[in-house]
Amino acid sequence: MATLLYDKTGRLLFTKEMKREYTLLMPQMVPVTFTFLRRVFELYGYNAEILTTTHRGIVDTGLKYVHNDTCYPALLAIGQLIDAVKSGKYDDRKVALMITQTGGGCRASNYIHLLRKALDKANLSHVPVVSLNMSGLEKNPGFSLTVPLVRRLAAAMIYGDFLKWLANQVKPYEVQKGAADSLIQHWTDEIVTMFGEGRAMSKKDMKKLLPEIAASFAQIPREGEAKPRVGVVGEIYVKFAPLGNNNLEDFLLAEGCEPVVPGLTDFMIFKINNRSADVELYRGSKLKKLFCDVFQKYIEGLQNLMISAIETQPAFRPMGRFADLKHVIRGYLGYGNKMGEGWLLTAEMLELIQSGVPNIVCTQPFGCLPNHVVGKGMIRRLKDDFPESNIVAIDYDPGATRINQENRVKLMISNCKILGQAKPDLRQLSASRRD
């Protein structure tokens, strides 16, 4: 059994010994991308596991150990972690928990403290908590974000977004159900193997591999009439996590729609850009701004590789660029509006509307005031400027019923079908038929 080590503040540390012996549990958020992240952590010697549980007991556990005024994403993430530790599946003396920590003006900065408080309440104070952050907020002897690890994590994010973006354009039309998911699994295995060999991470490697991936998705046989596209935006956890949004993407597919979900890459660039914007707006370290600008340019370069690869296949439409989001938000919100998803959330709605996807589900979690301001609070303005927009804000909280949420989404879908909106052109289908 590993020896428990504390720092001078009394915080339980994750040690090098624990890295060898402990299972590191992480809550699920972005399914495809987090599968990549888990495999990357395994390459660095961590015994990592992503939790995929979605039962109601997770909400009940969160309500039991987290104050009910806490935001819904925190309640779910912490509830999922504690539920897993108490499930009996793991030795609670050989398990550690990992959770992200943004360091910004969001309750997410306090998730880690809420989690430790919940562990104390559940008599699990001997379980170490690892903060995944790039702000130097917490450090542990057994975990560190090295440059090679960050490089692999960035590549994992790009491949995760890329696969999901392509799959969402195939799934509504695939002749053999599950073909897109099978191809995601194939490429996940292939790419992680390449990671282990030191390949698939450089821009040169990605420039060669991404078009190959796009071509493989274009070869999946598709059929059927073009379906309404429905965008999904909102607070990052509830936007992506099936546990947080009650499997919203699957529901949209079942209702005969094509989900359009902006990826994680824009959010990560947004968080980097915020630090540079702080220096521009409020002054600060020019060296910090230089570092952030270089890092942002690197991630934007990877995003451009995704876009160029998709453009090689007429069957698919590419995602937008972060620079386009910064441009489209002008006149609506300032760049200093960065709490929660900040100006990015409104920009994503604008980009969807202007790219032919006026049907949008805006996911609104309980307890996230900034999200309500830049999400639900901006809908009236968007409808005034774009009368064709068809946006519904869906609240997600412990007391909300799934049937009510789905009925409101159904009403939005009915409206878009009546209006005949967001029907994609038939290039993507005709291309597959020609093949």
* Domain extent at residue 239: 225-263+319-434
DSSP letter for 235, please: S
Q: What is the pLDDT along the chain (435 residues), one digit of tens a residue?
A: 678 888 888 889 999 999 999 999 999 999 999 989 998 999 899 999 999 999 999 999 999 999 888 889 999 999 999 999 999 999 999 999 998 876 666 666 678 889 999 999 999 999 999 988 766 678 889 998 888 888 889 999 999 999 999 999 999 999 999 999 999 999 999 998 998 888 998 899 999 999 999 999 999 999 999 899 999 999 999 999 999 999 999 999 999 999 999 999 999 999 999 999 999 999 889 998 999 999 999 999 999 999 999 999 999 999 999 999 999 999 999 999 988 889 999 999 999 999 999 999 999 998 888 888 999 999 999 999 999 999 999 999 998 889 999 999 999 999 886 655 444 443 343 333 333
Nearest-5° angle of CA 221, CA 222, CA 227?
A: 165
107 plus 230 within the same structural domain: no
pTM of the model: 0.90
Q: DSSP for 128-144? A: -EEEE-SS-S--BTTB-
Tokens 């450089």 — which residue?
202
Q: Which of 144, 169, 194 is the last residue of a domain?
A: 144
Question: Which class for 133: exposed (0-12), middle (13-18), buried (19 or more C-beta within 10 A)?
Answer: middle
d(CA 348, CA 325): 7
Question: Which class for 321: exposed (0-12), middle (13-18), buried (19 or more C-beta within 10 A)?
Answer: middle
Nearest-5° angle of CA 324, CA 325, CA 328?
A: 85
Write the CATH number for 409. 3.40.50
In a domain, 392, yes or no: yes
In a domain, 330, yes or no: yes
In a domain, 190, yes or no: no
Q: Which of 144, 174, 197 is the last residue of a domain?
A: 144
| Spatial CA neighbour of 324 closest among 298, 360, 291, 352 | 352
Q: State residue 178 phi and psi, 5-degree precision.
A: 95, -5
- Number of helices (H), then strands (E), in the chain: 19, 8
372 plus 238 within the same structural domain: yes
235 plus 350 within the same structural domain: yes
120 plus 231 within the same structural domain: no
In a domain, 157, yes or no: no
pLDDT at 146: 86
In a domain, 269, yes or no: no
Question: Which class for 307: exposed (0-12), middle (13-18), buried (19 or more C-beta within 10 A)?
Answer: middle
- Which neighbouring-strand residues pair with 260? 231
d(CA 371, CA 44): 35
d(CA 379, CA 393): 9
pLDDT at 212: 98
DSSP letter for 59, please: H
Determine the 3-state secondary structure of 234 from DSSP. strand
Indicate the number of domains in the chain. Answer: 2
In a domain, 202, yes or no: no
Nearest-5° angle of CA 150, CA 154, CA 262?
A: 145
239 plus 135 within the same structural domain: no
pLDDT at 417: 66
In a domain, 427, yes or no: yes
d(CA 225, CA 291): 48
In a domain, 310, yes or no: no
241 plus 364 within the same structural domain: yes
Alpha carbon 351 to chain centroid distance? 18
397 plus 254 within the same structural domain: yes
d(CA 78, CA 63): 10
Strand (E) positions, 154-280? Answer: 229-234, 258-260
339 plus 233 within the same structural domain: yes
b/e 33-67 (16+ beta carbons within 10 angstroms → b): bbbbbbbbbbeeebbbbbbeebeeebbebbeebbe
Q: Which of 97, 116, 144 is the last residue of a domain?
A: 144
| Contact of 187 with 136, CB cutoff 8 Å | no
- The Cβ-side half-sphere exposure at 252, using a 13 Å CA radius, reads 27
133 plus 230 within the same structural domain: no
Alpha carbon distances (Å) from 61 to 97, 131, 145, 233, 350 = 16, 21, 31, 27, 37
